[in-house]
Chain A
């Protein structure tokens, strides 16, 4: 009996621990949900964490708001384009770094990360000037464009993505490339038919983290956009006005921004399968 109890106590402690940890993590989300489900009167009348009746107006008015729709679309387009672009470029870059003899490639590799060493705010003013004054062709500027934000996020995410993927690509045995070359593949076919499928877990992780970075980014989105390219994070801040804050709408908006994030996580998670390279070459 003692033997059994000792065995069971391990999982039990773990279950209790993780349950408490999850509750602590999820509590703010629940709080936000509770706020979003209440009218102004309910919210300020008798504050409570419980939801007595679901007040749908916050959600309905948010969803039908053209500004919300535009911000949401912008965010989805920007975050997704950024994630795809960064992941694709990082794959090409790390493949080259891993497989080719480039003079000074370790320096190059290190240099890519240096732009993450200063606080992002340092770049704010120069970027604002570049986007409004310098990168201007006729009437076209990068300021307040989706492309502008996508490119900027690429600059910030690419180094990080290269650092994440380097180990993944280095971990794929070079003999697999060589076997494919001998089998008649060209470099592109090696990349798409051998490297890409094997790097999938790493690419998925890189993609998610990049996507989340762009999805959550506030500072640059707020500074480098005004009307057309505003994202949902900056949109959230617009509920705070001089005349007061619409807490219910704000919470509903925040809840709705969680939905795409959960979808992306769910989609990417299916590709994160460990141990995919096992059995390629004899260890």
Chain B
């Protein structure tokens, strides 16, 4: 186990830079998830930590030592690939023992480690099979088994669950989390799925176009997104955004939408300038029903049983609300809603940054 420090790392392919100076501190034993849309550079960053991709500039430290110029085999890391990358000509047992055989460990040690890992992952009955004889979920487990027999300093996962069906994915999510609680090995896990990130991570690194947008604990990102990108990326259904302009109501700061809807805000006046363009963000579950606020018009209702999602229009702005209670509504109906200023997120339109 070891901390991993990524300092101002950049990656260029030829003249194109795809990672623009990323810094992340990962503490010993921490489970960190790199999340972001496809193509934002997550895999590239992970592969630079693994030693599979050259680091154009900046440093990667594992256990305090700069490893930039060390080949993967000298970094004491284990990696689980998106496609599993099991050796097709080897049995499950040989796949799992390959790294130990390369290190010329004694046969008895290899055997006990492989069997221990197999028992953790419920693979004991499959040790003599070949990868082609396994289901997707079993292959996934073997790939993890191959990583854990190593007892490495750091686990690296690159979208390990994206080839599994939805049900298996939820199950494996829990298993990986449980495995981490048991082994307490520093883990860097890449995914494009924000739900995976929210449910599994100690700390989330949100990436976008080769830069880090925000680093923080899952609920921290959820409650206080630093900018519009993070606000829109984290959470499902996504946060509602309403554009408008700074105004004042009875001397209190507010935002007026282009349709003339006035939304009170709870941001110190000093942070706002007259005429400033704003984006008002409100999560679907923070929209409540009641009179006295603005009126919306219902367009679609989706009851899921446990909750009701209501798609509506506030002026010309689409909004989604999630309600715990079963409300009888019809499309086109007028709906009185309340937006709690204390729960709203306010962003500057031009910079996309959070205000207060």
Contact = CB atoms under 8 A, between A and B. Distances in A.
A28 interface: no
Contact of A198 (B50, B71, B88, B134): B88
Contacts of B132: 278-279
B188 interface: no
Contact of A182 (B72, B89, B103, B139): B72
B79 A185 contact: no
B98 interface: yes
A263 interface: no
A175 B88 CA distance: 12
A197 interface: yes
A282 B139 contact: yes
A184 B88 contact: no
Most B-side CB within 10 Å, residue of A173, A183, A189, A276: A183
Interface in B77-134: 77-79, 81, 83-89, 98-99, 102-103, 130-134
A280 interface: yes
A182 B132 CA distance: 22
A18 interface: no
B141 interface: no
Given A173-B83, A175-B83, A279-B130, A186 B73 contact: yes
B102 A189 contact: yes
Given A183-B102, A185-B102, A189-B102, A280 B73 contact: no
Interface string A241-283: 0000000000000000000000000000000000011111110
B181 interface: no
Given A185-B73, A279-B134, A179 B88 contact: no
B289 interface: no
Interface in B33-85: 50-52, 71-73, 77-79, 81, 83-85
B89 A197 contact: yes
A245 B71 CA distance: 67
Q: What size tier do the contact residues of chain B reach? A: 20 to 34
Contacts of A179: 79, 81, 85-87, 146
A178 B73 CA distance: 10
B199 interface: no
Interface in A184-205: 184-186, 189, 193-194, 197-198
B262 to A, nearest CB: 53
A176 interface: yes
Interface residues of A, number: 24
A194 B50 CA distance: 19
Nearest to B103: A184
A34 B86 CA distance: 54
A182 B102 contact: no
Given A173-B83, A280-B85, A282-B163, A182 B50 contact: yes
A280 B79 contact: no
B61 to A, nearest CB: 18
A181 interface: yes
B85 A173 contact: yes
A278 B139 CA distance: 13
Given A182-B50, A185-B73, A279 B86 contact: yes
A181 B89 CA distance: 17
Contacts of A175: 81, 83, 85
28 contacts: A173-B83, A173-B85, A178-B50, A178-B72, A179-B81, A179-B85, A180-B98, A181-B71, A181-B73, A182-B52, A182-B73, A182-B77, A182-B79, A183-B78, A183-B99, A183-B102, A189-B102, A193-B98, A197-B89, A276-B89, A277-B88, A279-B88, A279-B133, A281-B83, A282-B83, A282-B84, A282-B139, A282-B163
Interface of A: 173, 175-176, 178-186, 189, 193-194, 197-198, 276-282
